[in-house]
Chain A
Amino acid sequence: MVPKRMREVRLSRLKEEGIKAFFFTNGVLAVVVLVGIFGLLLSTAIPAFKEIPVREFLASKTWDPTSPEKAQYGILSMIVSTLMVTAGALLIAMPVGLGVASYLSDVAHWRVREVVKPIIEILAGIPSVVVGFLGIVLFGPVIAKIFHTGHGLNAANGSFLLAIMALPTIISLSEDSLNAVPLSYAEASLALGASRWQTLIRVKIPAALSGIIASFMLGMGRAIGETMTVLMATGNARSFPHGFLDSIRTMTANIAIELGEVPYHTTHYYGLFAIGLVLFILTFIVNLVADVILSKYQQREQ
């Protein structure tokens, strides 16, 4: 007969093993799902290149798979459009976001901050459909009036909306990292006779740079992958963009438009997955660059 004490020990050890196995399964599951998605994307995208030369796919400007004349599968216009609208969004969101973050951390009264910051964070929860709707009925007509373009369904509109969507992330994270700068840095700077402006620009922002850059990258990630807003507000013309006042079609919008009705296992179907693969690689590069920059700054700080 096993003594009671030994039985208890064995039982608790079993419990511990069970819990360990549970967490291990969860961890592995996340990885398996990710690898599975990537594998599926890859296996469905690769058949496309049996029929479309990679060169044509990446370098041709014309995408018209349902053309009655000759089906064409070039995504250069869409890649450029996606990058353009994302760059435009960052151009607007980076200075504004950093400005608001600096104001909240250094200038605003704490009571103002307590009210404004949650409001900005709520902005992040606005559904993209609603933002796209604003683009059609509000910003579109304004852009059309200012630039005399007749319509406002163009890259500028998309950039503007994506900037609005990226702002909450950028402001919130930048403000957090500005606040995380040790108080002694600012105190030392002020004690040496620097003005508050000089302290902010020369001491606090450089010290918080890793967090600020991370916030920019996260904002960029959101802008590249955003679908509904650009689908609604940029006009979806397939032509190669020549400026921010042209109608454009991003990669995400193209997949959303065409995947619903495409006949399965055709070149067109595989082609759409190939676009997804390109998008995946793009966001992967953005994240990789962000990681490299972050670790570089962290090393320097240490």
Chain B
Amino acid sequence: MNVKKILMISLFGFGLIASPHIGQAQKRKMIQIKGSDTMVNLVQILAEEYMAKNPGAPIAVSGGGSGTGISAIINQTCDIANHSREWRQKEIDLAWEKGVKPRFFVIAVDCLSIIVNEKNTVEKLTTFELGAIYRGEIKNWKAVGGPDKVVSLYGRQSNSGTYVFMQEHVLGNRNYSADMKEMNGNAQIIEGILQDEGGIGYVGVGYLFDKDGKIRKGIKVLRIAKDNKSPAFSPLDKAAVDRGDYPVARPLYQATPGRPNAAVSAFIAFEIGPEGQKIVEREGFFTIGAKDKEQNEKNLR
């Protein structure tokens, strides 16, 4: 993956040196994608598969964070921005001032499942309760209708995008409890929950299944409700995730500066089409719902 990237960059550089005309032609043709680190692997793989089918359409993908991608669109230094958060009003205003009218596409849905040990009697939580648990305000499962057991927190390390996502969307931008055990990856969190009857953890949905495609023995996936009044949904309920009813999910976006040109729109069409969505699913993300699909197609025109 990286080798390809380096090769492409060096080829691009060589082209620039060799002949300014060829360089410029390539520059125009090469699709530049920048932004979210959560999405960089997914989009890289999408780009590789797309390039394998369309050899004449080089794509370069790089990370840097959602903010980097968004400002690159505003400054018109890239063709597509990956962003895992929505644009702030300030950013949209700034783009319009510069004459850029960004268009947004949802290419996948990132979904976190909240898991506990199967011996835990708790079945569902509200996002408020979940936040309070991770902030360290609820210390015993009794407080949320569970057994009289101390809550044992499992989470990711601060360099993980998932850590930030939980902090922003569930903890309400407040501090994690210092008692949270910070694990090296999704698999380690699951190992911990399997043993720990008081444990709670968050992992990507793809990690829940064993090699037969069944939910791993010993863990229980909690249903999560937006608030007290709303019903709780499981992240495994595809229809609920598609409707946007599962609260610990976020759309993964791409933005273009204005109406995408033919090359860019062909790539986006591939991403949101059946082939691209199959890759999205394979990489552990969720496919987009009907509403997003409709909006995407409107924006492509």
- Interface of A toward B, CB cutoff 8 Å: 62, 64-69, 77, 136-137, 140-141, 144, 150-153, 231-232, 235-240, 247, 249, 257-258, 260-262
Q: A260 CA to B157 CA in the complex, in Å?
A: 11
* CB-CB under 8 A for A238 and B159, given A150-B196, A152-B195: no
Q: How far does the Cβ of A85 sit from chain B's closest Cβ, in whole Å? A: 15
Q: How far does the Cβ of A298 sit from chain B's closest Cβ, in whole Å? A: 45
**Any A CB within 8 A of the CB of B93:** no
Within 8 A of A (CB), among B129-178: 149-150, 152, 157-159, 164, 167-168, 173-178
Contact B180 A258 (CB under 8 A): no
Q: A144 CA to B152 CA in the complex, in Å?
A: 13
What are the 5 tightest A-B residue pairs by CB atom distance, in nearest-first order? A261-B159, A235-B181, A239-B178, A236-B182, A151-B196
List residues of chain A with CB within 8 A of the CB of B149.
150
Contact A150 B152 (CB under 8 A): yes
Contacts A66-B164, A258-B158 known; 14 new A-B pairs at CB < 8 A: A67-B175, A68-B167, A69-B175, A137-B191, A150-B152, A150-B196, A151-B195, A151-B199, A152-B195, A232-B184, A237-B178, A239-B177, A257-B182, A262-B159
List residues of chain B with CB within 8 A of the CB of A140.
195
**Any A CB within 8 A of the CB of B41:** no
List residues of chain A with CB within 8 A of the CB of B174.
68-69
Q: How far does the Cβ of A257 sit from chain B's closest Cβ, in whole Å? A: 5
Q: How far does the Cβ of A158 sit from chain B's closest Cβ, in whole Å? A: 13
- Pairs across A and B, CB under 8 Å, 25 listed: A62-B178, A64-B175, A66-B158, A66-B164, A67-B175, A68-B175, A69-B173, A69-B174, A77-B178, A136-B188, A141-B195, A144-B196, A150-B197, A150-B199, A151-B192, A153-B192, A231-B184, A235-B181, A236-B181, A237-B182, A247-B181, A249-B182, A257-B182, A261-B158, A262-B159
* CB-CB under 8 A for A257 and B159, given A140-B195, A150-B198, A152-B195: yes
**Chain B contact residue count (CB 8 A cutoff):** 29
Contact A151 B181 (CB under 8 A): yes
Q: A226 CA to B241 CA in the complex, in Å?
A: 44
Closest to B183 in A: A236
List residues of chain A with CB within 8 A of the CB of B176.
64
* CB-CB under 8 A for A144 and B195, given A69-B175, A239-B179: yes
